[in-house]
Structure 1
């Protein structure tokens, strides 16, 4: 049985789309999913990138695309009142719901729905308090231990070379984005393509031009 580590940040609509689609993508495959909340903003900062919602025209396209993808999946998705927002409270809540900092699927789904199914302010303190009361975390979400666990998850993701969410890691391979789920499934089913030259072909292609920043 393979363990799939699912790196996610509730700020990402693509993570919600992938979360919803994952059970079907893994249907019939013996597996275990470990959810690891990470701070996407810290990953962007590490790599010197802007988030999709920080580029005006890309922001517009992102929202239109995720609404369309949700429509295709038959998934409820309403844009929150403000986005991007500070996700730290939600991430720490999810981490606090598990002694190892790896919340189960139920917890993650409730947090995702809080963000992507209400159309309200995802970072609102009163709404966060209600969600906290519903989930009844086993640890204090404001404790140093929970904060350190979230930081450790994020640092682990960066050390693995992850640059975005959702990301799935199994064995030594990284699969990024909700559109990578068919590729992930193929790998888990033993598709021989992954043993061929194409997976490592990137190692033989040099960078031709670098932009000055």
Structure 2
């Protein structure tokens, strides 16, 4: 059985779409999934990447694209009243349910639904309190333990070469983005392509991938 680390941040619409599509995309395969919240902003900052929301035309396209994906897949996605937003309260709230820096699928889904269903303000205090009341907290969200787990998850992701979310890490390989799910499935099925020259990390010549 393969062990997969799934890195996510609730600010990402693609994380919501990926979470909902994973069961079907990986149906019939044997794997164990660890859900690890990370701070996307830190991953982007490491590579001086402003992210889709930092480039106006790309931001407009991304918002349109994710709404289309929500519609076309039947998952459903409504943009919150503010985006991007500071996800720290949600990341810490999720990790407050943890025993070891990981969360379960139920918690991940509740937090992502909170943001991406209904088109509301994800940081509205009343909504945040209702969300908190529905979770089984093991720690205070502002505790040093919770903050340490978030730092550790983010540091681990950076060290493993994760540069965005959603990302899956398995056997030392990173699979990034919603559209990587078919590739991840192929890897878990033992596709021989991954052992071929084409399946290895690309060489770089004159600044271009060969």
Q: TM-score range by the shorter chain?
A: over 0.9
Instruction: Name the TM-score, length of structure 2 as normaliser.
Output: 0.96
Question: What is the CA-CA distance between 1:136 and the residue it aligns to?
Answer: 2.5
Distance (whole Å) between structure 2 residues aligned to residue 72 and residue 120 of structure 1: 21
Aligned residue in 2 for 1:73: 73
Aligned residue in 1 for 2:122: 122
Please list the CA deviations of residues 83-140 of structure 1 after superposition, one character each: whole Å capped at 9, or x if unmatched.
Answer: 0001000001111111112110011101000000021111222211110111121111
1:163 and 2:155 aligned: no
1:110 and 2:92 aligned: no
What are the within-5 Å matches in structure 2 for residues 164-183 of structure 1? 164-183=164-183
Q: State the SS of the aligned residue for 2:66.
A: helix
Distance (whole Å) between structure 2 residues aligned to residue 64 and residue 186 of structure 1: 29
Question: What is the CA-CA distance between 1:199 and the residue it aligns to?
Answer: 2.2
Distance (whole Å) between structure 1 residues aligned to residue 40 and residue 117 of structure 2: 20
Q: State the SS of the aligned residue for 2:10.
A: coil
1:208 and 2:207 aligned: yes
Measured on the aligned residues, the alpha-carbon RMSD in Å equals 1.1
Aligned residue in 2 for 1:143: 143
Distance (whole Å) between structure 1 residues aligned to residue 98 and residue 201 of structure 2: 39
Question: What is the CA-CA distance between 1:201 and the residue it aligns to?
Answer: 4.7
Stretches of structure 2 that go unaligned for 5 or more consecutive residues are: none
Instruction: Name the TM-score, length of structure 1 as normaliser.
Output: 0.95
What are the within-5 Å matches in structure 2 for residues 1-16 of structure 1? 1-16=1-16
Asked whether the 8 Å contact 1:94–1:101 carries over to 2, the reply is no
Change (3 A) 1:53 1:10: same
Asked whether the 8 Å contact 2:160–2:172 carries over to 1, the reply is no
Distance (whole Å) between structure 2 residues aligned to residue 115 and residue 101 of structure 1: 21
Question: What is the CA-CA distance between 1:207 and the residue it aligns to?
Answer: 4.1
Aligned residue in 2 for 1:44: 44
Stretches of structure 1 that go unaligned for 5 or more consecutive residues are: none
